[in-house]
Amino acid sequence: MSALVVASIITYLTLAIKLFRDDKTTLIYDLNANVVRTVASEFRSDLDRYSANVRLLAQGYANPDWRRVILSNETELLAFRLYDAEAAADGKPKLTEVNALERADKFLEEKGISAAEWNAWTNSVAIPPNLSPTGNPIYLAAKFLAPNAPVIVYAEGVAFEGSGRPRVLVGIFRGDRWWATLRSQGVVSPTLIDSSGRAILAADPGALDHPDLSGNPLVARAIGSPLAVELKDFEWGGERYLGAYADVGAGPKIVATVRADEIFRASMRLVNKSLLFGLLIVTIAFLLSSRVARSLTRPLSALVAATESVAQGRFAENVAVRSNDEVGELARKFNAMAGSLDALQKRLVESERHAAIGQVARGVGHEFGNILMRVFGKIDLAMLDTEEPKTKAHLQTALDAVERAKIILQNLRSYSKTGDAAAGPRAPVALGTVVDQTLTLVQHELKTGNIEVKRDFSAGAPSVEGDAVALGQVFLNLMINSKHAMPNGGKLSIAIRPETGADDAPGVAVEVADTGEGIPPDVLPRIFDEAFSTKGDHGSGLGLSISKTIVEGHGGKISAVSAKGAGATFRIWLPERPSVEGKERKHG
């Protein structure tokens, strides 16, 4: 029997590793394709908006009302230039400035850039004078004026109807949103390139120090291919890469590459943990089979079968409890563990579903927002150009419809925000009960870690209105962090007591304290930042960030005090009833 169990688990793990690697390769291919399509679509939409707004500015520059409407809708524009493209004495085209507009004061103050630095840079920008609708239609460049201050230079050659000469329009825009988009794609690192293979903008500003990427086989393929989107598996510098590119329009393209070994490194860590878990199960099976009587073979076989089901993801599997001895107790504990895993899996699936919906909502909201801004600007301009009452009434009706569409868009965007981590059903919650239930989930880890638990729950603590599941997630994260901070054992103290908050609002304070290693002073201010972790490869850095989101979504506050080597205390205050401010923060 034991040999059969060993053979089954080894076979299962071998197949799992192979399937996991194959699935991971397919997943990264799909991820690369989706990333470049999504980013290219967003950038293409922005370029269309840039073009429309600089054309409107050029045509109506002399009209202050026209200019005001355009600038109120284009919040990312920092500067505008209008040039005449004339032929010099040597026959080559040259640019003569006709009009200029500056509105970068707030940006410079926000980024800590002096006016002198800004003027020196804008005067040094070299715009190609040969831009034209029939030749080179646009010029696109980017520059980091400070480590966190990217700007986009967009130039376009046009020939307005009725004009006797070609003109070049230049808009300088904030690049924060483009840069954030490139940085948010995880292991896939997209880069914006021009038609010659030079990097325009990348997640790492240092990549722009050596912008020529034409030696990259994927980039060489992208700049020479008429395809809008393509996936490619290639070798470069002796290493294998998976990559994709997508056309942004009129020359620029988005390329994304990822090394094959980066894909499988995280996968193999998970596989190794699964292997250790399997070996642990085998060891337990051998020890039990050598010490129990033959009459216990059947229930133990059932337990092994249920364990294999859980390992395959079927967490609802239960073991029949037929006795009150050690085997029966083991079956009850196993059923409790499987039930907890089943609940956690459902919560994870739900979270991933909301994240996917949120991503779609952001994409739809962005595209719809650009359309609304154009429609709003056109209607507003039309109202300025007419005095006929009936026409104005029709235009006002159209403006009201646009405003309603803006409200719908705001609601759609609010659904995709991380504040939805606290969006579960609200009901009266006894925090002592939630803490005790959470302690039950981690009692085995605390016991094996030689950690003593001290409870100090005040009988007068009121219930709070909230989501018990989300609050349980907060307490679970704090308890696990405390356990990791006490590798050699220690004491975990949890206190609950009534406490008034700001404006004498009634509420409850919860303190979770440990006697562990403590948090260094330079780390403490950043522990609630998203993706910040002190656990290296063993932590994602999301636990405390999500906990903060949940607590604030309930109208509460979370803080921490600690010193290196002196333990840490996390303090949560929750109102008995969420304030209006807390509810507004939760909903958008």
Query: In 3D, which of 124, 85, 131, 77 has the Cα closest to residue 101?
Result: 77
Q: What is the pLDDT of residue 299?
A: 62
Residue with tokens 């133990």: 300
Report the distance separating Cα 393 and Cα 225, nearest Å. 51
Q: What is the pLDDT of residue 419?
A: 44
pTM: 0.44
Percent of the chain with pLDDT over 70: 66
Q: What is the pLDDT of residue 444?
A: 77
Q: pLDDT tens digits, residue range 259-318?
A: 777 665 655 555 566 667 667 776 776 666 665 545 555 666 666 666 766 666 665 666
Backbone angles phi, psi at 307, to 5 degrees: -60, -40
Pairing state between β 451-457 and 490-498: parallel
Q: Give the mean model confidence (pLDDT) for residues 420-447.
A: 78
User: Which residues lie closer than 8 Å to 399 by C-beta, 6 or more apart?
Assistant: 376, 379, 380, 383
User: Which residues lie closer than 8 Å to 546 by C-beta, 6 or more apart?
Assistant: 418, 421, 473, 477
Q: Is it the case that residue 219 has pLDDT exceeding 70? A: yes
Query: In 3D, which of 461, 412, 407 has the Cα closest to residue 434?
Result: 461
User: Which residues lie closer than 8 Å to 123 by C-beta, 6 or more apart?
Assistant: none
Give yes or no for a contact between 432 and 496, defined as CB atoms under 8 angstroms apart: yes
Cβ neighbourhood burial of 130 (10 Å; 0-12, 13-18, 19+): middle
- CA angle 459-462-466, nearest 5°? 135
Q: Is 36 left (phi over 0), alpha (psi -120 to 50) or beta?
A: alpha
Give yes or no for a contact between 46 and 238, defined as CB atoms under 8 angstroms apart: no
Q: What is the pLDDT of residue 4?
A: 53
Amino acid at 138: I
Q: In three state form, how does the secondary structure of 103-132 look?
A: CCHHHHHHHCCCHHHHHHHHHHCCCCCCEC
DSSP E strands: which ranges in 195-265?
Answer: 199-202, 229-236, 239-247, 253-259
Report the distance separating Cα 351 and Cα 571, nearest Å. 26
Q: What is the pLDDT of residue 213?
A: 86
Q: Is it the case that residue 5 has pLDDT exceeding 90? A: no
Report the distance separating Cα 156 and Cα 252, nearest Å. 14
DSSP-based three-state secondary structure for 188: coil
Report the distance separating Cα 363 and Cα 370, nearest Å. 11
Query: In 3D, which of 417, 359, 258 has the Cα closest to residue 42?
Result: 359
Q: What is the pLDDT of residue 272?
A: 64
DSSP-based three-state secondary structure for 173: strand
Q: Is it the case that residue 165 has pLDDT exceeding 90? A: no
Helix (H) or strand (E) holding 554: none
Q: Give the mean model confidence (pLDDT) for residues 219-225.
A: 85
Q: Is it the case that residue 354 has pLDDT exceeding 60? A: no
* Residues forming a β-bridge with 358: none
Q: pLDDT tens digits, residue range 21-49?
A: 544 455 455 556 778 888 888 999 999 99
pLDDT band of 348, cuts 50, 70, 90: low
CB atoms within 10 A of CB 254: 28
Of the two residues 201 and 531, the one the predictor is more confident about is: 201
Q: pLDDT tens digits, residue range 401-415?
A: 566 456 445 544 544
CB atoms within 10 A of CB 10: 14
Of the two residues 414 and 519, the one the predictor is more confident about is: 519
Q: What is the pLDDT of residue 114?
A: 93
Backbone angles phi, psi at 11, to 5 degrees: -60, -45
In order of 47, 50, 141, 201, 210, the CA distances from 152 in angstroms are 11, 10, 6, 9, 18
Pairing state between β 507-514 and 568-575: antiparallel
Report the distance separating Cα 217 and Cα 223, nearest Å. 10
Report the distance separating Cα 340 and Cα 399, nearest Å. 53
Residue with tokens 């364990």: 307
Domain extents in the chain: 2-22+268-347, 28-261, 361-422, 427-587
Of the two residues 209 and 267, the one the predictor is more confident about is: 209
Residue with tokens 């990427």: 213
Q: pLDDT tens digits, residue range 115-163?
A: 999 999 998 888 887 777 666 678 899 999 998 899 999 999 888 776 6
Residue 355 CA to chain centroid, in angstroms? 9
Q: Is it the case that residue 428 has pLDDT exceeding 70? A: yes
Q: Give the mean model confidence (pLDDT) for residues 534-545.
A: 55
Q: What is the pLDDT of residue 312?
A: 63
Report the distance separating Cα 285 and Cα 304, nearest Å. 8
* Residues forming a β-bridge with 105: none
Q: pLDDT tens digits, residue range 461-495?
A: 888 988 887 888 889 889 988 898 888 999 999 99
Mean pLDDT for the chain overall: 76
Q: Give the mean model confidence (pLDDT) for residues 522-527.
A: 84
Give yes or no for a contact between 515 and 486, defined as CB atoms under 8 angstroms apart: yes
Query: In 3D, which of 175, 156, 154 has the Cα closest to residue 166?
Result: 156
DSSP-based three-state secondary structure for 560: strand
Of the two residues 7 and 125, the one the predictor is more confident about is: 125
Q: What is the pLDDT of residue 111?
A: 92
pLDDT band of 512, cuts 50, 70, 90: very high
Backbone angles phi, psi at 143, to 5 degrees: -150, 135
Q: pLDDT tens digits, residue range 177-195?
A: 999 998 887 767 789 988 8
Q: What is the pLDDT of residue 541?
A: 41
Q: Is it the case that residue 12 has pLDDT exceeding 60? A: no
Q: What is the pLDDT of residue 364?
A: 62
Question: 427-587: CATH homologous superfamily?
Answer: Histidine kinase-like ATPase, C-terminal domain (3.30.565.10)
Q: In three state form, how does the secondary structure of 533-557 look?
A: CCCHHHCCCCHHHHHHHHHHHCCCE
Report the distance separating Cα 399 and Cα 396, nearest Å. 5
